[in-house]
């Protein structure tokens, strides 16, 4: 199987990145990670790039320069798929257009509910009994692109932000790998 070339964008702890790296080491997983991009020099997730010897770049600059530098790298490395995994910067419309259909994102709610930030806080405040995560294609609208996969999580009355986040993120790890397989029509 010829694996597609992927780039993962992160900003923080990189636990989704870690999970995608694990999956990508399976022989029949459709992608190889060729590059990791962080917009945060202190992103904890960078340790996974180092640990698994995956090329990475950390760029703390304005959006224009960030995208210019990253675009050059993506073309150089012939990247087929960009996975946003806790990447907290909004990409420009131009960048999204240039990579139309090739950028996917994970969001910690059952979209279209709870787009944007502070998801767990808002889910708890609304006394939801059901939440989850969504992997979707990225378009020009925030958290608005076509859904690839959703996974549900039950909210207990005892949940707080920390416990809910843990439950949702556990499902995220399964959802992201499943979604990547689905993008390349493997299931
Ligand atoms: C994940 O829970 C992801 O859903 C969320 O950030 C977290 C990153 O965790 N993304 C968003 O909220 C995007 N709007 P990680 O860095 O440990 O993978």
Helix/strand/coil (H, E, C) string of 7-45? EEEECCCCHHHHHHHHHHCCCCCCEEEEEEEECCCCCCC
Q: What is the mean pLDDT of the chain?
A: 96
Percentage of the chain beyond pLDDT 70 is 99
Domain 4-186: give its CATH code: 3.40.50.170
Please identify which of the residues 34, 102, 107, 167 carries the catalytic annotation: 107
- How far is residue 36's CA from residue 8's CA, in Å, rounded to a whole number? 5
Interval 51-80 mean pLDDT:
97
What's the mean pLDDT in 46-74?
97
* Residue 185 pLDDT class (50, 70, 90 cuts): confident
* Phi, psi (deg, nearest 5) at residue 133: -145, 160
Token duo for residue 9: 């964008």
- C-alpha 74 – ligand 1 centre gap (Å): 22
Q: How far does the centroid of ligand 1 lie from the alpha carbon of residue 172, in Å?
A: 9
Any idea what DSSP says for residue 20? H
pTM (predicted TM-score): 0.97
Tens of pLDDT, residue by residue over 3-31, are 999 999 999 999 999 999 999 999 999 99
> Nearest residue CA, atom 7 of ligand 1?
86
Distance 107 CA to ligand 1 centre (A): 6
| Predicted local distance difference test score (pLDDT) of residue 187 | 54
């Amino acid at each position: 199987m010829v694996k597609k070339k992927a780039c993962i964008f992160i900003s923080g702890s990189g636990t989704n990145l870690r999970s995608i790296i694990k999956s990508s080491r399976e022989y029949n997983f459709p992608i190889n990670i060729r590059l990791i991009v962080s917009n945060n020099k202190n992103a904890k997730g960078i340790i996974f790039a180092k640990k698994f010897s995956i090329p990475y770049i950390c760029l703390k600059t304005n959006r224009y320069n960030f995208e210019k530098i990253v675009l050059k790298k993506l073309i150089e490395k012939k990247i087929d798929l960009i996975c946003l995994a806790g990447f907290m910067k909004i990409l420009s419309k131009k960048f999204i257009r240039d990579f139309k259909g090739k950028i996917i994102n994970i969001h910690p709610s059952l979209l279209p509910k709870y787009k944007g930030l502070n998801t767990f806080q808002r889910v708890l405040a609304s006394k939801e009994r059901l939440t989850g995560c969504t992997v979707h294609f990225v378009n020009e609208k925030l958290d608005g692109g076509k859904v690839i996969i959703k996974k549900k999580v039950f909210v207990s009355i005892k949940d707080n932000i920390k416990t809910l986040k843990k439950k949702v993120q556990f499902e995220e790890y399964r959802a992201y790998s499943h979604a990547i397989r689905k993008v390349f029509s493997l299931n």
